[in-house]
A and B are shown apart, each in its own frame.
Chain A
Amino acid sequence: MIMSARTDEKIHGGLSLTDSKATYLGLHSWGAAGLWTVIVAVILFWSVYLQRALMDPLGILARPHYIPGYWGYAVLWLSGLAGIVLESIGLEKRTRERTLIEKELRRQQHLFGERGQELSFLHGVAEIAESSSILSAEIVQGIVDLIPQAWQYPKISCARIILEGREFQTEGFSESEWMLNIDILTHGEQAGSIQVYFSGSKPPESESLISNEERQLLETVAKRLGKIVERKRAKEALAYRLHYEEMLDSFSQELLKNRKETLKAAVSHLLKASGASRVYIYENFENADDGLCMRQIAASGAPGIKARKDNPRRKKLPYKDWIPRWQKVLAGGDPVNGAVEDFPQKEREILEAQDIRSILILPIFVNGEWFGFLGFDDTLSKRKWDINDIRLLQVAADRIETFIVRKRAEEALSESEERYRSIFDESKDMILTSSVDGKLIDINPAGAELLGYSSPSELINTQVEDFYYNRSDREHFNRKMAEGSFIKDFEIFMKKKDGSPLFGLETSIEIKESNGNTICYQSIVKDITERMETEKLLWRSNMELVEANEKLKQTQSQLVQQEKLASLGQLAAGVAHEINNPLGFIKSNYSVLKQYLDSITKYIRTIDKQHKDAAEGEADIDFILDDIEALFEESDDGFNRIITIVQNLKDFSRVDFLDKFESYDLHRAIESTMIVAKNEYKYVAEIEREYADIPLIECMGSEMNQVLLNLIVNAAQAIKSQKRKDPGIIRITTRKTPDHVVCEISDDGPGIPTEIQRRIFEPFYSTKEAGKGTGLGLSISYDIVVNKHGGDLTVESEENRGSTFMIKLPIRAKKRETENGEG
């Protein structure tokens, strides 16, 4: 119990130390009385014994059992007895005392416990309040109420806490002369105090009556309250900032909205935050008569405060009439701030007329130019907005700048957006947006229509390359886009819904995110199908023109050649005719001359017999006469040959039948041609003829002779080109088919390489050395046989084995072909 009491003392700072010490000592003396008695008795006994022993040590030694003597024993026993009695009495008393003490202790402890609880409660409350930084009036009141109870000094009567201008008192508080004051400090400044009032008059040593512990307790509480206030203030400041920021946030949020009343709604947020009665925005504008004017563009008033809507002048207030001073201040970027009563007289009149007691005007700048101002009226109190308020509200003013800039941009944009939208919708060109991987994101109605669809919605989300004729063209497109971020006049070849082609010229740009990633491609496709169609016709006619030109050239040269041949034929016929005449009389004369010569010969021979020996040298006359005969025979042969040639020339040229179909004997024609061409072949080739029984055909004789001549001469020249020793063979065969007569002219020459076989009929194509051929022979032959006669001219050839040209002619001429040929 004692120990526990001591423990309590320790815990509670030894509040009852004096008392408990006294009790302890008293308790001790009573309990030890008996013991002391016994100890004294023993000492006495032994002191007597020792005295004797000292005085008569021998007697003691001689009689050791005789030590204290009778009285000695008696004293010893008595004192022992007395000790025991005393001890038992002391014990009893001690027990009784202890019970009392224990009772007292228990009471004390009880009291102590309550106080302890209260004390710790007081601590706790202060602690809780501190930790949670909640400082409600209830908590402070609770703390005040606990103070008297926590007080050891009995005469304490009441307490109060003064904090931030508020007072919290215990019940029935009254001030007294004797008090203890502890200041509550925040950041070293007094924020309030804790006061404890004691009943009765103040004793001189009153301070010492208050224990350190009690003072410390109060100081702790004061410190804690101070801290709470500090925190509360910090928190309030934070809340204030947060509040402003929240306001600015909602203000900014409001500004982001795109409504008609955006500014007004935004301004109403400022109203709540600033605690002003009215908030408004004015915008400057130039007026020709009044110079710079202002007009209200948004305003908001606290409930009960009119927003001056009725003021007609808010539409136009010239600065010079109104408040010229502000123009300078605001244009210079400074605010107008303060209580109206401190303002110049003129301004006061204007402002006080509107019940404005304090005013804050913040300039608004847009793109560095003074745009107008944001104003705050306070109709209730006169004050000056502090720098923090101004700083925060200036942020709001700056946000208005962003809003105005954005709004201006939006206006400009929406105008262009509208314009672009109408371009998109109304354009006759296809406008489309596609993703990088080719998904069609958007297409205008014209685009859908061009592709043969009724509405763009049918196309959106399809793949662009689905409409490409060649899907891989998209790869080319992508590659081009990747190269330069744009593509100009890319020709795309698309197919419509019905499969018909659509030619487009596509111009595309890349739409990029701010980080550089491509979002999509924007393309305009111009339909050039029609243009393409025209171009196509142009090209075709161009190509046809080229071909016609070629044909013309060919025809022209053929005509020239034919003309040449015809002239030649005419010439030949003329020559033949002219030769024929003298030939006729020469031949006739020659015959007569021969007859004459025969007669002369007969006569000479007769004379010769009669005058055999008449003269020397006459022996030769026989030889002469014989030779004359031979000469005549040879001449005869020559005449015949000339006559045949002339006749053939006449036959070949067919002067009388030029360009007219006539009955044509192919065999006879071949023979005539052979004679004309004899010079070409006679040394290089032998002619083999295999004639079948063929009918006469309808043919343009002179033309066909030309063909035969060409083929025979070509065959001879081909053989000749080989420069071989043995003569070659030119075989001419004829045969008949039901409707045609076929003539084949073969040679065993070098043949024609396959590559040029198809070209040999082309005009001017020649394998002969320059000057040796015109390159027209076969092409003219082809024209005569195929075009003029409706026949066929083909070649079969094998290199080093020879060539065979086959002429196939209809027996009866096809008149239409003829006409074409002649035309």
Chain B
Amino acid sequence: MTKKMMVPNPGMNTGSSGSNDITGFEEFNKRDIGVTLRGTFVKGSSLKVIIEVDGYLDNVNSTHFMETVAKVIQENASIKTVVIDLLKISYISSTGIGALSNILIQTKKTNIVLYLINVGRKVRSVLDTLGMTGFFNIVDSEEGNAG
């Protein structure tokens, strides 16, 4: 992870439109389990997707979150890069971190690069405590802007 990371400015892609570029999250969002997801492709490229996580990830909904994200990534074979935007996450439990780790593992297996952006103090403290920070490509939104 010493290599320089480059991700596009997430601000350009978040909140600009309410629709999902990716199908597969609608059903998940309908279930209303405390977290909603939105996937948008970066600048019309089908290679890179930003997944916004809005809500909380706890022991109840994390597994479902993980399965949904994994499935969506799997179904969109063109995806080479997945960016998970954690700006709007209100609470994350260790299970949530576990879910992210599992997503990371899955992406590694399929040669997809996973980035976490907008990792707030909350998420980072849990990541740090669990000693998982080093495994993730964490990019500050500022750095993302610069890149």
Contact = CB atoms under 8 A, between A and B. Distances in A.
Interface of A: 469-470, 472-473, 475-476, 489-491, 493, 501, 503, 532, 535-536, 539-540, 542-543, 546-547, 550, 754-755, 758-759, 762, 764-765
Contacts of B93: 491, 493
Given A470-B125, A491-B59, A475 B90 contact: yes
Given A470-B121, A475-B90, A539 B132 contact: yes
Contacts of B30: none
B94 A491 contact: yes
Contacts, number: 69
Given A473-B91, A759-B113, A764-B111, 11 more contacts: A469-B126, A470-B122, A490-B58, A493-B93, A539-B130, A540-B131, A542-B101, A543-B132, A546-B109, A547-B108, A758-B6
Interface of B: 3-6, 56, 58-59, 90-91, 93-95, 98, 101, 104-105, 108-109, 111, 113, 121-122, 125-126, 129-132, 135
Nearest to B90: A476
B115 to A, nearest CB: 12
A503 B59 contact: no
A765 B91 CA distance: 37
Contacts of B108: 546-547, 550
A498 B133 CA distance: 23
Given A472-B90, A473-B91, A491-B59, A755 B132 contact: no
A154 B4 CA distance: 137
A550 B110 CA distance: 10
A721 B33 CA distance: 51
A536 B4 CA distance: 27
16 contacts: A470-B91, A470-B122, A470-B125, A472-B122, A476-B90, A489-B59, A491-B59, A493-B126, A503-B94, A539-B101, A539-B130, A540-B131, A542-B105, A547-B108, A758-B4, A758-B6
B6 A543 contact: no
A57 B104 CA distance: 169
Contacts of A476: 56, 90-91
A294 to B, nearest CB: 59
Contacts of A547: 108
A613 B59 CA distance: 112
A546 B105 contact: yes
Given A470-B125, A546-B108, A536 B3 contact: no
Contacts of B95: 491
Contacts of B109: 546
B60 to A, nearest CB: 8
A764 B108 CA distance: 13
Given A490-B58, A491-B93, A539 B98 contact: yes
Q: What 6 pairs across the A-B complex have the smallest Cβ distances?
A: A491-B93, A476-B91, A470-B122, A758-B3, A543-B135, A501-B129
Nearest to A489: B59
A753 to B, nearest CB: 10
A468 to B, nearest CB: 10
Contacts of A536: 130-132
